[in-house]
Amino acid sequence: MVFSSAIFLLVFLPVVFISNFIAKTVKKEASNYLLLLASLIFYAWGEPYLVILMIISILINWGVGVILTKTEGKTRAFALAVGVIADLSMLGYYKYAGFFVRTVNGIIGKDLLPAVDIALPIGISFFTFQAISYIADVFRGETEASKKPVNVALYISFFPQLIAGPIVKYRDINRQIDDRSITFEGVSDGFKRFIYGLGKKVLIANVLGACVDKIYGYDITQLDAKTAWIGALCYTFQIYYDFSGYSDMAIGLGKMFGFSFLENFRYPYLSHSISEFWRRWHISLGSWFREYVYIPLGGNKKGTRRTYLNLVIVFFLTGLWHGADLSFIIWGLYHGFFSIIERLGFKKFLEKSKVISVIYTFLIVNFGWVLFRADDTLTGIRYLTRMLLPWRHADLSIDIWDYSSVRTYIIFAAAVIGMGFFDRFVPQKIKDRWSGSVTEAIYCVIILLLSLAAIAADTYNPFIYFQF
């Protein structure tokens, strides 16, 4: 089930919201059980048997959390290790077993290991990282282990951020799980945020995505420079509006049920460096790797060489987290390379011009998305050559209107404007007048109606980050 589906918008969400309000009125704890049940149903909607995997993860991490509160010394460290290994083993088996087999067979040059075809549980990367952060924080004394299995279960499985984040830390919402209130202001703000996210997804990302899929579906030898650039730029904005739209919907839904999730995007395409980009893009993932990998490895406190090694490890894992394929690893290391280059002194040059630094960052990110989106690394590199060496691939057979329309370019222009220019350049007084005004309410109603119309038309409607 996806947020931008008719069954979710017209049946699941209204039923759960009204039922939760009634349960909250009757007894506070009843709300947790209701939301847990709703979350398990939400997750089991497409692949019912995989909900068993989530229940196993919940029980393991709740049990490890309880053990950590009752043990000390090496026994305590052993319990944490067992919990982390169990979490990573499930993630590794379902997400990386096939990649491991293909890699080994490729290195050896023959099919030494039998091919495996394992269905990837949706959102497993997200809820696994949440589970690990829970037991790690309990071990470090940064949060108390919950004695109530329902609290840990709701934390790991809560449907608004279950499928594609943001990745939430238990210490940030543990008090909200035990005691939260549903207010008119919270519900209205949440509903508004959800509509904005729905519009990003349905009205912008889906339109651009249809163009992207057509371009990337062509044989690479058919692409000229113009087509390659259009495909690359459209995908750059598609993935931003798709993922940030999902995060907006998740944050909005959280508010509607009394939860407050941290922001996951802060206009990353207006960043002045790759380092800044990663402080603005998928903030919860960057924060997770910084807190549970980079800092434990020593961060930047063990010398320059160790710092660079730590960065390489983090970006390698970032790429691997996104997908079990060499192209994702290369994409992660690609970003790590530019982060290190900036630390070596290039960032000082970028600081001399805000315009040049934004253009540089956008182009580097845009080229990276080509590697991310292409079917394989070789295709991605060949795609980039068509962008960077236009004189070698000019005037090929594909007509621009075969893969796009006037609507595509209107939406693209809206996407460019909406990537942060409004927030950065519009005076605060105007933004204050807009927020909560009748005009904004009318605007939200229009977005909602247009989104529902697009969904009713059964148009192209994937979520990119479901695969991670």
Residue 30, amino acid: A
Name which of 358, 363, 327, 330 is nearest 216 in CA terms.
Answer: 327
Name which of 244, 227, 269, 226 is nearest 364 in CA terms.
Answer: 269
Please give the Cα distance from 164 to 122 (Å, whole number).
9
Backbone angles phi, psi at 80, to 5 degrees: -65, -45
Residue 97, amino acid: A
3-state SS assignment for residue 172: helix
Name which of 211, 235, 269 is nearest 373 in CA terms.
Answer: 235
Q: Which of 272, 322, 335, 393 is catalytic?
A: 322
Please give the Cα distance from 453 to 384 (Å, whole number).
37
> Do residues 218 and 137 make contact, with C-beta atoms less than 8 angstroms apart?
no
Q: Which residue has the tokens 């068509």?
A: 386
State the SS3 of 345-365: HHHHHHCCCHHHHHHHHHHHH
Who contacts 399 (Cβ-Cβ below 8 Å, separation ≥6)?
none
Q: Which residue has the tokens 């982390």?
A: 84
> Do residues 197 and 318 make contact, with C-beta atoms less than 8 angstroms apart?
no
3 to each of 80, 161, 162, 461, how far by Cα in Å? 35, 11, 11, 10
Catalytic status, residue 322: yes
Contacts 24+ apart (CB under 8 A), 46-51: 46/1, 46/122, 47/119, 47/121, 47/122, 50/119, 50/121, 50/122
Q: Which two tokens stand for residue 30?
A: 């009843």
Encode burial over 392-419: b for 16+ CB neighbours within 10 A, e otherwise.
ebeeeeeeeeebbeeebeebbeebeebb
CB atoms within 10 A of CB 56: 12
Who contacts 387 (Cβ-Cβ below 8 Å, separation ≥6)?
225, 228, 229, 232, 367, 370
Name which of 287, 234, 238, 236 is nearest 264 in CA terms.
Answer: 287
Positions marked catalytic: 322
